[in-house]
Amino acid sequence: MNRTHIIRIIQSCILTAAAVPAFAQIDLSGSWQSINHEDALERGGGPYTVDYAGLPFTENGRARALSYSQSQLSMPERICAFYTQFHMLLGPFGLKIWNETEPLNGRTIAWKIGAWEDKDTTTIWMDGRPHPSKYAPHEKAGFTTGEWDGDTLTTYTTHMPAGYIRRNGSPSSDQATMTLHFFRHGDLLTMVGILEDPVNLSEPYIISRSYQSSTNMGPTAAAPCIVGDEGPKEGEVPHFAPGKNPNVDELTKLYGIPPEAALGGAETMYPDFRKKIKDKFVLPPKCTENCGGPRGGGGAAAGGPGAAPPPPPPPR
């Protein structure tokens, strides 16, 4: 054994001891069943057409959302359009998470979150690689890096394409970025996501949701999508012209929510907004649509682990 070997052994011992916190992490792998006890419509059949309450929209974001028609998804060009990675926070599905390791030392180089039928696989690079140039292509998977802060995995996603942050056409731009935090408490996993978009959002938009560890296999792949003809005329993009969206008063009619609240904006996220709408709110006598309950879509059948999402709202 020469001096070089000895010095390397010493360095190795010291680095191993010193590096323990840096590599410390908890195991996120496994199948996680979504617990859909909040935002039932969002995670089920989809939100009302003009429900932007709690969204920190800019004027641009609101205008684009109001012009959106769901029929756009029938266009051959868009029929196979996936959602962006932010859909993980809003869609109905659970998670399948696994790690990919470096063969020589077993170290995790990436965490993977399986695809859904309308979301691409997420790859969270843990090996310190940089994000690509801002001119690099924006793909449905985006580009995600992660690091551990104690027991919390924090990830950062860039290079997402333009897409939707609610399934009612609320838009996100290709400049949007997403931060996720994964908090594991035994069999419970809480995921917190923060979307920032300089084009459509005036403030970061935060969503949190929880999952239950499950022995049922979570989703791992997207089904192949085949472009078909669903009827829209070639060359036309279904939309609503400014001021012509027929659904702006839908939440008002059904739930008494003032239109200014339904149209969103940063102030609708904060408690003080309640003072502004208190005198305008009229409590309807009875719930008439998407009311849930043990026999409807909101009881156990629409709730937690193993449960199916609530039924979609009737066609409008």
Sign of CA dihedral 266, 269, 270, 271: positive
Please state the closest distance from residue 242 (CB atom) to other proteins, in A. 25
Nearer to other proteins, 140 or 157 (CB): 157
Burial class of residue 240 in the structure, from the number of CB atoms within 10 Å of its CB (0-12 exposed, 13-18 middle, 19+ buried): middle
Please state the closest distance from residue 59 (CB atom) to other proteins, in A. 19
Residue 168 identity (one-letter amino acid): N
Burial class of residue 30 in the structure, from the number of CB atoms within 10 Å of its CB (0-12 exposed, 13-18 middle, 19+ buried): middle
Nearer to other proteins, 14 or 136 (CB): 14
Element (H, E) at 143: strand 143-149
> Cα 162 vs. chain centroid, distance in angstroms?
14
Nearer to other proteins, 55 or 66 (CB): 55
* Phi and psi torsions of 33, nearest 5°: -85, 130
Please state the closest distance from residue 148 (CB atom) to other proteins, in A. 9
Residues 255, 286: Cα–Cα separation, whole Å = 9
Please state the closest distance from residue 161 (CB atom) to other proteins, in A. 22
Please state the closest distance from residue 121 (CB atom) to other proteins, in A. 24
Nearer to other proteins, 38 or 77 (CB): 38
Nearer to other proteins, 243 or 294 (CB): 294
